[in-house]
Every structure is written in structure tokens, then in C-alpha cells.
Amino acid sequence: MAANVEIYTWSTCPFCIRAKELLSKKGVAFTEYCIDGDEAARAKMAQRSQGGRSLPQVFINDHHVGGCDDLHALNAQGQLDALLTQ
């Protein structure tokens, strides 16, 4: 069963683009919430991520993974694939 992956982004954010590229490269389907200028959506994201307001914010099976650097670090450590197949 594939993981439920959600990512909050801004359309022009280079870190958001980089995180989505990694997920796409791995063949992962994800739900993107592009929150350009939407403060209500950003507040919801911040609540889900325990205060994280930077973008992107990534969630796998409702677990907060973090941002782009966190996602790439999990991949470099060989832990991302396991999360994506749970």
C-alpha cells in the first residue's frame, strides 16, 4: 500500500520544486497544497507541523517529515523509501 504524501508549497519556491522533484523521481503520488498568499491555509499548515511556517512542509501518513532538506536527508540516510511504502 502506498503512503499518503501531502506537501504544502508555494508555486515559485525553489525548495518546494526540489522536494516535489524528489518525490516524482521516486514515482510517489502526492497531494499538493499550493498556498500562495493564503494565510488561512498557512495557519492550518503551521498547526499541523507544530509551528513550521517555512515551505515546503511534507507529511507522510499524517506524520510531519519537515521541509525539503529533511526530505532529502531521509533519502540520503536510506529511510525515505521505508516511509513511502508504509
Encode the chain (86 residues) as per-residue pLDDT tens digits.
689 999 999 999 999 999 999 999 999 999 999 999 899 999 999 999 999 999 999 999 999 999 999 999 999 999 999 999 87
Cβ atoms of 3 and 83 within 8 Å: the answer is: yes
Residue 73 sits in a domain whose CATH number is: 3.40.30.10
User: Which pLDDT does position 86 carry in this prediction?
Assistant: 79
Cβ atoms of 70 and 58 within 8 Å: the answer is: yes
Cβ atoms of 26 and 79 within 8 Å: the answer is: no
Query: pTM score, two decimals?
Result: 0.94
Residue 60 is classified by DSSP as E
Q: How far apart are CA 10 and CA 74, in angstroms?
A: 22
Q: Count structural domains, the chain.
A: 1
User: Which pLDDT does position 6 carry in this prediction?
Assistant: 98
User: Which pLDDT does position 1 carry in this prediction?
Assistant: 63
What is the residue range of 37's domain?
5-84
Q: Which residue has the cell 507541523?
A: 49
